[in-house]
Amino acid sequence: MTDWPSAIRAEFLNAGWQELSRAAVAEGQLHGLFVGAFAVCGVRVAESSFEVTDTWAALQASMAELKTEDLKDQPRDYYLIFIVNRVDDLSLRELQRVLDDTRVCRKICLERLGRSLGETLRDDIPFFPTPGTTSGVEPFVPDIPLDGVSESVQRDLELKSAERILEALVATHLKVNPAN
């Protein structure tokens, strides 16, 4: 059997996520708990998709506690990520009900289908390689002409901050059109 907590930890840390230590991880309910600038991910490797449908409620309670107590002042999306070798067809209806429940957090069920853990995470979770940290993330450079756009707005575009872009555009507009 694979040491899932170590394997998951290695994949998330290598992608730039930060690890959170919580009781749910220490007690073995979750195999990992990670935070990025925009998301918190609790990860559980399950023996089967039936295990997902049996354990999700308790794991969601752990995520709810984290969301309301520990990180309440830091707005982020919360995810429970379940990893199984293959989803059993007989569990599909109940599994879909679990995945559709977004009251506390979103749930994602990944099928490994013979892939490595890293391949599964990178292929099936669009936000996995970009946790919002600066390490390993290439700056965004828009493929549009930026003639006449101030350097500060160009820098904001590279940093992908919508709030900073809006503030800079408004400030530039007010300088050009002070009567407005």
Q: Summarize pLDDT for 122-169 with one digit per residue, the tens.
A: 999 989 988 874 444 444 444 556 667 777 766 666 665 566 666 666
Q: For 59-103, how does the pLDDT look when each residue is reduced to its tens digit (9 = 90+)?
A: 999 898 888 876 666 778 999 999 999 999 999 999 999 999 999
- Token pair of 61, please? 């309670």
Q: 174: exposed, middle or buried (C-beta count within 10 Å: 0-12, 13-18, 19+)?
A: exposed
Nearest Cα neighbor of 40 from 59, 7, 2, 66 is: 66
pLDDT at 60: 93
Q: In the chain, what are the domain boundaries?
A: 4-124, 138-180
Nearest Cα neighbor of 18 from 3, 39, 45, 4 is: 39
pLDDT at 32: 92
Tell me which of 176 and 21 has the higher pLDDT.
21
User: What is the architecture of the domain spanning 4-124?
Assistant: 3-Layer(aba) Sandwich (3.40)
Nearest Cα neighbor of 5 from 117, 107, 111, 116 is: 117
Distance, in Å, from the CA atom of 100 to the CA atom of 171, rounded to the nearest integer, reads: 42
Structural contact between residues 31 and 4, judged by C-beta atoms closer than 8 angstroms: yes
pLDDT at 138: 44
pLDDT average, residue stretch 9-16: 93
The helix or strand, by DSSP H or E, that contains position 121, with its residue range, turns out to be helix 117-124
pLDDT at 14: 93
pTM of the prediction?
0.69
Strands (E), 67-140: 77-84, 106-111
pLDDT at 158: 63
Q: What mean pLDDT is reported for the chain?
A: 81
